[in-house]
């Protein structure tokens, strides 16, 4: 739909003056809360930033199917199994909405997938942690999807139209994910001692990696400034992390669980929960590919791509055959 090649620039000699004027007009549109659409003029850096962010977001949804998919066959009841299947299917759908949004910027889905498979593209660090028990499925829904929602709600007002629209759809679907996760945790916490212990263990393992999902602290983040000016980002990493902590700590207390942070305390003066130091070295290691499951996730993704090749070949061959039959009949 979003035909490319409409944005042919003026002659090189005029380009710099023209660009400055265009850039100013672009920023005015952003400041006026106008949405930018695929064929509108945009600075190359804006396009690059969005392609990077949206494709990483898409990859995260796709890789994110693995840790939860791990428990589909072992879900404790048919009710839980049906919900988990629906949730994993949603994650796939979210990945596809996002790839489509990125494609409006002139990058082919095949190209993005290629980058992921070649190990050149990143995805969220959180999906490189293992799901060891059923309680992890509860913790992921409650915490990981909770963190994702915190991050995605402001993205519904992102300056780039197709991304914002994809986010609105994703957020609508995501709220069931968080609720089903919390319900799993609640059931375990109201169960026997071993079940409650399992829930506590899951919280212990997922809490800190979830806080890392929001990215490096503001002082160290390299993308925040321009992304904020261009209204791709509406809150800083630290602001979103704080919102998440403030929302989640009381939920943990309701479950009767202990947040694994000895320094966590409610600050009466600010009205926020103050947290202890985050182990950013662990985050760096996971992002660099050295997390517990990085290799496994990539191996699985590559194998799936290879295993599906015959399906794509068959579909393509059939489409060709139908087309030639159609031509012969005409």
Partner 1 sequence: MTEPAASEPKVPLWEVFIRARNGLAHKHVGSLHAADATLALQAARDLYTRRGEGLSIWVVPSAAITASDPAEKGMMFEPTASKVYRHPTFYEIPDEVGHM
Interface with partner 1 (CB under 8 A) = 1-4, 6-7, 37, 39-41, 86, 89-90, 93, 96-97, 100, 103, 106-111, 113-114, 166, 169, 173, 309, 312, 315-316, 318-319, 322
CB of 176 to partner 1, least distance (A): 9
Closest to partner 1 by CB, 265 vs 325, is 325
Closest to partner 1 by CB, 40 vs 201, is 40
Q: What's the chain look like in SS3?
A: CCCCCCCCCCCHHHHHHHHHHHHHHHHHHHHCCCCECCCCCCCHHHHHHHHHHHHHHHHHHHHCHHHHHCCHHHCCCHHHHHHHHHHHHHHHHHHHHHHHHHHCCCCCHHHHHHHHHCCCCCCCHHHHCCCCCCHHHHHHHHHHHHHHHHHHHHHCCCCEHHHHHHHHHHHHHHHHHHHHHHHHHHHHHCCCHHHHHHHHHHHHHHHHHHHHCCCCCHHHCCCHHHHHHCCCCCCCHHHHHHHHHHHHHHHHHHHCCCCCCCCCEEECCCCEEECCCCCHHHHHHHHHHHCCCHHHHHHHHHHHHHHCHHHHHHHHHHHHHHHHHHHHHC
Closest to partner 1 by CB, 1 vs 78, is 1
Closest to partner 1 by CB, 30 vs 143, is 30
Closest to partner 1 by CB, 103 vs 136, is 103
Structure tokens at 187: 């059931």
CB of 50 to partner 1, least distance (A): 14
Closest to partner 1 by CB, 309 vs 330, is 309
CB of 123 to partner 1, least distance (A): 19
CB of 86 to partner 1, least distance (A): 8
Closest to partner 1 by CB, 17 vs 92, is 92
CB of 59 to partner 1, least distance (A): 15
CB of 153 to partner 1, least distance (A): 19
CB of 116 to partner 1, least distance (A): 12
């Amino acid at each position: 739909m979003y035909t490319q090649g409409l944005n042919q620039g003026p002659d090189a000699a005029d380009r710099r003056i023209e660009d400055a004027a265009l850039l100013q007009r672009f920023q005015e549109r952003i400041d006026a809360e106008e949405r930018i659409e695929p064929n509108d003029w945009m600075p190359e850096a804006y396009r690059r930033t969005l392609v990077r962010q949206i494709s990483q977001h898409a990859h995260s949804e796709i890789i994110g199917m693995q840790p939860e998919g791990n428990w589909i066959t072992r879900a404790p009841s048919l009710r839980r199994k049906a919900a988990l299947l629906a949730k994993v299917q949603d994650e796939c759908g979210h990945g596809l909405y996002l790839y489509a949004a990125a494609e409006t910027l002139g990058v082919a889905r095949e190209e993005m997938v290629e980058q992921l498979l070649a190990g050149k593209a990143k995805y969220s660090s959180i999906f490189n942690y293992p799901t060891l028990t059923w309680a992890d499925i509860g913790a992921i829904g409650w915490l990981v999807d909770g963190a994702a929602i915190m991050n995605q709600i402001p993205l519904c007002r992102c300056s780039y139209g197709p991304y914002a629209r994809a986010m609105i759809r994703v957020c609508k679907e995501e709220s069931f994910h968080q609720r089903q996760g919390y319900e799993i945790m609640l059931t375990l916490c109201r169960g026997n001692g071993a079940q409650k212990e399992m829930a506590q263990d899951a919280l212990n393992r997922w809490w800190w990696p979830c806080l890392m999902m929001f990215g490096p602290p503001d002082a160290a983040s390299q993308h925040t400034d321009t992304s904020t000016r261009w209204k791709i980002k509406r809150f800083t990493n630290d602001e979103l992390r704080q919102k998440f902590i403030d929302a989640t700590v009381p939920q943990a207390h309701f479950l009767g669980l202990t947040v694994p942070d000895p320094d966590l305390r409610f600050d009466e003066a600010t009205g926020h929960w103050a947290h202890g130091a985050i182990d950013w070295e662990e985050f760096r290691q996971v992002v660099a590919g050295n997390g517990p499951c990085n290799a496994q996730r990539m191996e699985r993704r590559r194998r799936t791509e290879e295993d599906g090749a015959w399906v794509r070949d068959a579909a393509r061959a059939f489409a060709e055959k139908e087309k030639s039959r159609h031509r012969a009949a005409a």
